[in-house]
Structure 1
Amino acid sequence: MQPGQNGQAQARPAYYAHSGTPGDCSDWQGLPEHLIETAGLAARFAEVFGLEKAASAAGLFHDLGKYDPEFQRRLTGADIRVDHSTAGAAILQQLARDGSPFDVLMAEIISYAILGHHAGLPDRRTAEPSCFEERCRRFTDSLDPAWRDEIAPDLAGLLPERMLKAIGVGNRHVAFDMSVIARFLFSCLVDADFKNTEEFYAKLENRQVDREWPALGDLLPDYLSRFDTHMAGLPRDGELNPLRRDILAHVRAGAALAPGLFTLTVPTGGGKTLASLGFALDHAKAHGLRRIIYAIPFTSIIDQTATVFRKVLGGEHILEHHSAIEEDEAAARRGQRDFPTSRDKLRLAMEDWAAPVVVTTNVQLFESLFAARTSRARKLHNIAGSIIILDEAQTLPRHLLKPAVRMLDTLARLFGCTIVLCTATQPALGKDGEDGGQGFPDGLDLEGRELAPDPRGLASRLRRARIERVGEMSNEALVAAMRPLPQALVIVNSRRHALELYRQAKEAGLDGLVHLTTRQCAAHRRGILDDARHRLKDGLACRLIATSLIEAGVDVDFPRVWRAEAGWDQITQAAGRCNREGRRPLEDSIVSVFAAPDYPPPREIKSLVEDTVRALDAHQGDIQTLEAMRSFYGEVYWRMAERLDREGIVDALKLDGRETNFAFRDVAQKFRMIESNMEAVIVPFDDKAIKAVDDLPFERIPSGLIARKLQTYIVQVPARARELLIRCGHVAFECPQQRGDQFAVLRTQNLYDPEVGLLWETPEYLALEDTIV
């Protein structure tokens, strides 16, 4: 109550966060209720990394601007635009001004999250009025001071001692660390805000919302029992199976080591996928870690890995996430006066990675960690306290290696993550070289953290093929080489080369031809690979022409392989598809490395070829030793130097004195693991895809749910090619009124060839294909 002019008390106006029944405020969500509940939920999300007080402050202040009477008018239907996200950031910084230097710094960091909780994390300084500095500078306080009585913020000790110790005295990457703290607080806030809003409307509309996943700790007894049963049932005869069991036992023994950074260097055929899963289960049990995240370089092997995990652990609680269809805030608010703040928000079914086991792509993982958008960043707080297995770690893009390595280091030191760099061709990311010399610039502390037994000995014992350089080979020469061999694999550097070689081989009358590239959607490729494996096993003709997507972890076993010139790591991975199971003599299992004069490799591949040649020359032509591998990576890192952070991402996250200067949006635009200007086309390839597309008109079905169903039915095409397909009516955005431009669906089905995939047959776009694998 407040005193009126006549001295009598009068009712204080009620303030609301979200509207309910129009004209009847009895079922509306009170603003203090929303702020306090969101703060509590955000704090719970941040407990695992010790920043619950900062997360609570973000929740309390995020919608403070709704204490503006103008915003309350908007809730009742007034056609006005009100910025409700700036007030909390500006006032929080004012209140923290007299605190300790760390509290002032943390108030700034929390303010990024508050400013961005609808439109995404802002940059500190730009020419745009939407930047952090301009928004706070223009802020005028028109809030009802009632908020001071209705919420009670405590802004002391926002950066606890534990986190200060983890950051470390004299850490020259403190700015990067603080930027990651801002991202994780942002994640806690947007997820808590979303879930509290969702819960309010679910109650209002008498709907059930089931977003709870079981904790990994509760599942571990069953998971470990299943894993042990599965491993006990595998074959035990021969030379290879006992070696795989020895590797597994050694790797699992390392699970007792303290959480942090590890390498797992096991050649192809050594069983590293199951060994890494066994380590993760044991390590989670030993240290109470919350989640297993398995990140894979290509969508082509996500299905394969997820299938293995489901077979071993059961499939009920495994999340498979590799969608190229993302919620886009800009698209969501296109045609609206403001970003949706009430019921519309419930349509944004953003993935939060709360499942106990997540199988995803490197693109999803790393681009989320560097994202500015709420939809991608929302999952980050669930990454804390997780075991992250980076399968085929050598595939991390070299031009982003420095920021990626910095992120891995920060996740391990500040957010309680264990990270396993899992590969046959370890990318030498340690700060110290094997010979005691200089390692990767600002590298990881990997000393004594190898999980595999005797990587050098394993490289020798598990060698299944020999590699030879054969000079130039035209398509005609490749066709002639395949002709006498009923089973052969050819790997080239572009989709165009693969398509043209396949067509020439078909015209030449070769049977058993198989074409495999990203022209095909993942669901189609899964069937192609299953058929190829059956042919190989049954001794039938199988001449497979593919791009490099087949190299990293795809389980196929060919007697002969041809590989277009590429980097050392790619050639070695290609060798892993030759005599994979060791059933043939080593001398007969040949990987022929050839130059393709009619298909010059992309510039980056060209330089890697030169690095490979230098490494080979230094090691007597034996490409498969660990020494050759380290020599190759040394060549690459020395040559690339500053281009290991070509986009200047680390330098865009800095401190100017005691003031933050984080360019979050600029970084998000630049951190692109797939560089080509590509857009998604959804192919209704089978009944499942057709049903998902048919669900698009039903507004009650969230976009995120449909996107997850369609994630294996996507083909990435050059942006200009998709524009032309749309203009000609071959592709259309389905249900644009409800879904915006999120779902571009192929309508002309005969453009999707059952043998080769999606075709757009103009010379201009085929020329773009030279750099696309």
Structure 2
Amino acid sequence: MQPGQNGQAQARPAYYAHSGTPGDYRDWQGLPEHLIETAALAARFAEVFGLEKAASTAGLFHDLGKYDPEFQRRLTGADIRVDHSTAGAAILRQLARDGSPFDVLMAEIISYAILGHHAGLPDRRSAEPSCFEERCRRFTDRLDPAWRDEIAPDLAGLLPERMLKAIGVGNRHVAFDMSVIARFLFSCLVDADFKNTEEFYAKLENRQVDREWPALGDLLPDYLSRFDAYMAGLPRDGELNPLRRDILAHVRAGAALAPGLFTLTVPTGGGKTLASLGFALDHAKAHGLRRIIYAIPFTSIIDQTATTFRHVLGGEHILEHHSAIEEDEAARRGQRDFPTSRDKLRLAMEDWAAPVVVTTNVQLFESLFASRTSRARKLHNIAGSIIILDEAQTLPRHLLKPAVRMLDSLARLFGCTIVLCTATQPALGKHGPDGGQGFPDGLDLEGRELAPDPHSLAARLRRARIERVGEMSNEALVAAMRPLPQALVIVNSRRHALELYKAAKEAGLDGLLHLTTRQCAAHRREILNDARHRLKDGLPCRLIATSLIEAGVDVDFPRVWRAEAGWDQITQAAGRCNREGRRRLEDSIVGVFAAPDYPPPREIKSLVEDTVRALGAHQGDIQTLDAMRSFYGEVYWRMAERLDREGIVDALKLDGRETNFAFRDVAQKFRMIESNMEPVIVPFDDKAIKAVDDLPFERIPSGLIARKLQTYIVQVPARARELLIRCGHVAFECPEQRGDQFAVLRTRNLYDPEVGLLWETPEYLALEDTIV
């Protein structure tokens, strides 16, 4: 109570977190209520990795700035800007400064999350006024002291002994580990804040809330029963099916091993997708792990894998997530003004609370290194998960060191099991097969191979011969395909694929199909299904594709041509030739050709040179695992420091007892797709048209609509999209409700039913040469 002018006690003014009916405070959300509820929810999210107290502290302090009377004026309609995100960080650091060194360090780490819970994780220092240092330096305490009584924080023991032990004494990557802890606490705070705010406004405005997912543990008995029944129903005859069963049994036997890092090295055709799923289900049961995350390099096989999982497990609780619809354009461009809570509710954010998630490497790793709230929200749900990296060899080499460091931190600190799953294992262990030096700062993979005798499997499952065939022009490729009713040609750019397709069409070849990222995923699914039916029925099928087809796509051609590339890509291309082993090995040829009219990008040219050096120095059979290891040795030796070309690991450091994390800078640099591309939504079928038609209905969450539209996206050069928008061919739908998230194609004839989206003018063709 406070004394009034007449000496009578007056009630202390109430403080609110979120406004309700104007002028009627009965349905407004109280500030202490929001802080305490967000803290409790954040603590629950962090429980799996033992940082409940730190996450709770972040929740208690995140909106402390709303105790500023100026912010309360803003809630009542005053047109003023109030930074409410800095106060909690600045005051938390002041309160913790006399604590133990670890508590001081953790207070700083929590402060990054508080500072970033609207605008994204900041850099510690930069030329921008939004950096950690400048915001805390400029802070002036105008808060009502009432907060001290209403939230009563306890700042001792913010870094528990379990986490200290997991980080390890003498760990030279402790700064990187602490930066990952900061990211996971940020995720807990962002998701808790979002969910508490969403619950408040959903009740107030009769909004639809996105779904709640069941726990994996509750589903496992049914999943395991379904999996066993499915496997029992598969054919048992022939040479290949018994071998697949032996591989599956061996892999599943490894599920009892302690969680951590594993490799699964199985050649194409060995059934590694189902084997890895069987391992994940058994491993989750044995160790109480929370979800299965299956990460795939290309959207072209997300649908294939998700369909397989739905067929085996049932489809109700499997999330397929590869959407490029993340945030509106203003947020991506780093708007200076903080979005309001209502603004945040319209963002297309995915939280990965599903028990099974099928996603892309881009979505997984760029989220792990993100600074934006929309991508970071999901991170805490990764803890305690089984992460299967399918086709692990496709991780971009210029980001390999930070990616490897992240995998190591996930396994040591956050209870994750990670399976590097591929036919062409990328040699990321700290030791080589001979016991010598392996990958720089590599993973502890010794004794963690799940497959039975990978060398023997590589020999037994070989289905094709790889031959160099010299230079081939488009005319020569068309001539080579003409006598063969079924053939596959894989090239290095979308421009080459398009022009070869046009040349083959003009030459009158039957059964022509064209597959590139010009097409949305839903369209590519139809093309691949058409190809599989043609191949099975013996109909003409001549498929011209970019490299998206060679990593895991389930097709079986009698003859393949592959433009020159790295040995790993060529070996993967060979997996599309005689995949099921129905033809003789000597008749199943993968012809590797040079394309003089389409010089490869610099990186592919360097990988071709690595291949020549590795195979030239390699003794014996060039299609063995030893030859593949020689190739990776050449690549890693050549690239050396460029395995972290952007200096990401060094941008996350400790200066004495003080953090110096450049989160925003790192997020900008960790880009797995380097080209400047933007999404365009194509209303390809009735499902897509219906989802676009739902955009005006504000009660439907953006995330729910984005989930339905994610298979209808084509990534185009940013300048091309800007031109399409200026000319009226593409428009942001419902910007007043959805911001700049949903850029939809309006001129339908720009999407060719055979080729996909055609946006080119001559100025874009040079950029196209670099895109596969």
TM range (shorter): over 0.9
Task: Specify the alignment match of 1:303 in structure 2.
Answer: 303
Deviations 1:361-390 (A, max 9, x none): 000000000000000000000000000000
Is the 8 Å Cα contact of residues 51 and 158 (structure 2) preserved in structure 1? yes
Q: Which moved more, 1:618-627 or 1:480-489?
A: 618-627
Provide the rounded CA distance (Å) in 2 between the counterparts of 1:603 and 1:338: 40
Task: Specify the alignment match of 2:238 in structure 1.
Answer: 238
Deviations 1:731-758 (A, max 9, x none): 2222222222222221221111111111
Provide the rounded CA distance (Å) in 2 between the counterparts of 1:366 and 1:324: 14
Deviations 1:655-692 (A, max 9, x none): 11110000000000000000011111111111111111
SS at match of 2:383: coil
Is the 8 Å Cα contact of residues 81 and 337 (structure 1) preserved in structure 2? no
CA displacement at 1:703 relative to structure 2: 2.0
Task: Specify the alignment match of 1:137 in structure 2.
Answer: 137
Provide the rounded CA distance (Å) in 2 between the counterparts of 1:429 and 1:556: 28
CA displacement at 1:543 relative to structure 2: 0.6
Task: Specify the alignment match of 2:347 in structure 1.
Answer: 348
Q: Which moved more, 1:404-413 or 1:13-22?
A: 13-22
CA displacement at 1:762 relative to structure 2: 2.2
CA displacement at 1:202 relative to structure 2: 2.3
Provide the rounded CA distance (Å) in 2 between the counterparts of 1:253 and 1:626: 23
Q: Indicate how the Cα distance of structure 1 residues 610 and 338 shifts in structure 2: closer, same or farther if over 3 A, else same.
A: closer
CA displacement at 1:489 relative to structure 2: 0.5
Q: Indicate how the Cα distance of structure 1 residues 698 and 210 shifts in structure 2: closer, same or farther if over 3 A, else same.
A: closer
Q: Which moved more, 1:74-83 or 1:269-278?
A: 74-83
Is the 8 Å Cα contact of residues 561 and 592 (structure 2) preserved in structure 1? yes
Deviations 1:147-173 (A, max 9, x none): 111111110000000000000000000
CA displacement at 1:10 relative to structure 2: 2.2
Determine what percentage of the aligned residue pairs are the same residue: 96
Provide the rounded CA distance (Å) in 1 between the counterparts of 2:344 and 2:724: 31
Q: Which moved more, 1:258-267 or 1:22-31?
A: 22-31
SS at match of 1:255: helix
Provide the rounded CA distance (Å) in 2 between the counterparts of 1:151 and 1:333: 34
Is the 8 Å Cα contact of residues 42 and 189 (structure 2) preserved in structure 1? yes
Q: Indicate how the Cα distance of structure 1 residues 220 and 73 shifts in structure 2: closer, same or farther if over 3 A, else same.
A: same
Give the unaligned 5+ runs of structure 1: none
Q: Indicate how the Cα distance of structure 1 residues 539 and 334 shifts in structure 2: closer, same or farther if over 3 A, else same.
A: closer
Q: Indicate how the Cα distance of structure 1 residues 336 and 514 shifts in structure 2: closer, same or farther if over 3 A, else same.
A: closer
Provide the rounded CA distance (Å) in 2 between the counterparts of 1:11 and 1:730: 59
Is the 8 Å Cα contact of residues 369 and 377 (structure 1) preserved in structure 2? yes
| In the alignment, structure 1 residue 509 sits paired with structure 2 residue 498 | no
Deviations 1:519-548 (A, max 9, x none): 111100000000000000000000111000
Is the 8 Å Cα contact of residues 186 and 376 (structure 2) preserved in structure 1? yes
Provide the rounded CA distance (Å) in 1 between the counterparts of 2:681 and 2:517: 13
Q: Indicate how the Cα distance of structure 1 residues 209 and 730 shifts in structure 2: closer, same or farther if over 3 A, else same.
A: closer
CA displacement at 1:220 relative to structure 2: 0.2
Is the 8 Å Cα contact of residues 326 and 348 (structure 2) preserved in structure 1? no
Provide the rounded CA distance (Å) in 2 between the counterparts of 1:404 and 1:335: 25
SS at match of 2:513: strand
CA displacement at 1:206 relative to structure 2: 5.0
Is the 8 Å Cα contact of residues 87 and 139 (structure 1) preserved in structure 2? yes
Is the 8 Å Cα contact of residues 18 and 341 (structure 1) preserved in structure 2? no
Deviations 1:698-740 (A, max 9, x none): 2222222221111111111111222222222222222222222
CA displacement at 1:579 relative to structure 2: 0.2
Provide the rounded CA distance (Å) in 1 between the counterparts of 2:527 and 2:25: 58
Is the 8 Å Cα contact of residues 565 and 607 (structure 2) preserved in structure 1? yes
Provide the rounded CA distance (Å) in 2 between the counterparts of 1:261 and 1:66: 44
Q: How does 1:180-195 map to 2 (within 5 A)?
A: 180-195=180-195
Is the 8 Å Cα contact of residues 269 and 580 (structure 2) preserved in structure 1? yes
Is the 8 Å Cα contact of residues 89 and 136 (structure 1) preserved in structure 2? yes
Q: Which moved more, 1:524-533 or 1:705-714?
A: 705-714
Provide the rounded CA distance (Å) in 1 between the counterparts of 2:311 and 2:12: 61
CA displacement at 1:37 relative to structure 2: 0.6
Deviations 1:108-158 (A, max 9, x none): 000000000000000000111100000000001110111111111110000
SS at match of 1:711: helix
Provide the rounded CA distance (Å) in 2 between the counterparts of 1:715 and 1:596: 26
TM-score by length of 1: 0.98
Provide the rounded CA distance (Å) in 2 between the counterparts of 1:343 and 1:333: 18
CA displacement at 1:622 relative to structure 2: 3.5
Q: Which moved more, 1:197-206 or 1:570-579?
A: 197-206
Is the 8 Å Cα contact of residues 332 and 339 (structure 1) preserved in structure 2? no
Deviations 1:285-305 (A, max 9, x none): 000000000000000000000
Provide the rounded CA distance (Å) in 1 between the counterparts of 2:65 and 2:586: 73
Q: Which moved more, 1:616-625 or 1:386-395?
A: 616-625
Provide the rounded CA distance (Å) in 1 between the counterparts of 2:268 and 2:141: 63
CA displacement at 1:209 relative to structure 2: 3.5
SS at match of 2:711: coil
| In the alignment, structure 1 residue 339 sits paired with structure 2 residue 338 | yes
Provide the rounded CA distance (Å) in 2 between the counterparts of 1:207 and 1:769: 43
SS at match of 2:698: coil
TM-score by length of 2: 0.98
Q: Indicate how the Cα distance of structure 1 residues 614 and 520 shifts in structure 2: closer, same or farther if over 3 A, else same.
A: same
Q: Which moved more, 1:198-207 or 1:27-36?
A: 198-207
CA displacement at 1:617 relative to structure 2: 1.1
Provide the rounded CA distance (Å) in 2 between the counterparts of 1:60 and 1:750: 53
Q: Which moved more, 1:673-682 or 1:690-699?
A: 690-699
Task: Specify the alignment match of 1:410 in structure 2.
Answer: 409
Provide the rounded CA distance (Å) in 1 between the counterparts of 2:211 and 2:137: 39
Is the 8 Å Cα contact of residues 521 and 715 (structure 1) preserved in structure 2? yes
Provide the rounded CA distance (Å) in 2 between the counterparts of 1:336 and 1:168: 39
Q: Indicate how the Cα distance of structure 1 residues 621 and 717 shifts in structure 2: closer, same or farther if over 3 A, else same.
A: farther
CA displacement at 1:328 relative to structure 2: 3.5
Is the 8 Å Cα contact of residues 96 and 107 (structure 1) preserved in structure 2? yes
Deviations 1:336-372 (A, max 9, x none): 9953434343223411000000000000000000000
Q: Indicate how the Cα distance of structure 1 residues 208 and 467 shifts in structure 2: closer, same or farther if over 3 A, else same.
A: closer
CA displacement at 1:3 relative to structure 2: 4.2
CA displacement at 1:399 relative to structure 2: 0.3
CA displacement at 1:203 relative to structure 2: 2.7
Deviations 1:237-296 (A, max 9, x none): 000000000000000000000000000000000000000000000000000000000000
Is the 8 Å Cα contact of residues 682 and 710 (structure 1) preserved in structure 2? yes
Deviations 1:165-224 (A, max 9, x none): 000000000000000000000000010001111112223345564632111000000000
CA displacement at 1:52 relative to structure 2: 0.2
Q: Indicate how the Cα distance of structure 1 residues 691 and 590 shifts in structure 2: closer, same or farther if over 3 A, else same.
A: same
SS at match of 1:416: coil
CA displacement at 1:319 relative to structure 2: 0.3
Is the 8 Å Cα contact of residues 64 and 85 (structure 2) preserved in structure 1? yes
Is the 8 Å Cα contact of residues 328 and 740 (structure 2) preserved in structure 1? no
Task: Specify the alignment match of 2:21 in structure 1.
Answer: 21
What RMSD, in angstroms, separates the aligned Cα atoms of the two structures?
A: 1.5
Is the 8 Å Cα contact of residues 328 and 375 (structure 1) preserved in structure 2? no
Provide the rounded CA distance (Å) in 1 between the counterparts of 2:674 and 2:422: 23
Size of the alignment, in residue pairs?
Answer: 772
Q: Which moved more, 1:178-187 or 1:206-215?
A: 206-215
Is the 8 Å Cα contact of residues 297 and 395 (structure 1) preserved in structure 2? yes
Is the 8 Å Cα contact of residues 485 and 539 (structure 2) preserved in structure 1? yes
Q: How does 1:487-502 map to 2 (within 5 A)?
A: 487-502=486-501
Is the 8 Å Cα contact of residues 464 and 582 (structure 1) preserved in structure 2? yes
Provide the rounded CA distance (Å) in 1 between the counterparts of 2:81 and 2:506: 64
Q: Indicate how the Cα distance of structure 1 residues 279 and 334 shifts in structure 2: closer, same or farther if over 3 A, else same.
A: closer
Is the 8 Å Cα contact of residues 488 and 559 (structure 2) preserved in structure 1? yes
Q: Which moved more, 1:236-245 or 1:507-516?
A: 507-516
Q: Which moved more, 1:264-273 or 1:685-694?
A: 685-694
Deviations 1:70-111 (A, max 9, x none): 111111111111110000000000000000000000000000
Deviations 1:399-448 (A, max 9, x none): 00000000000000000000000000000000001111110000000000
Q: Indicate how the Cα distance of structure 1 residues 333 and 24 shifts in structure 2: closer, same or farther if over 3 A, else same.
A: farther
SS at match of 1:737: helix
SS at match of 1:771: coil
CA displacement at 1:334 relative to structure 2: 9.6
Is the 8 Å Cα contact of residues 467 and 623 (structure 1) preserved in structure 2? no
Is the 8 Å Cα contact of residues 265 and 424 (structure 2) preserved in structure 1? yes
CA displacement at 1:13 relative to structure 2: 1.1
Provide the rounded CA distance (Å) in 2 between the counterparts of 1:103 and 1:271: 49
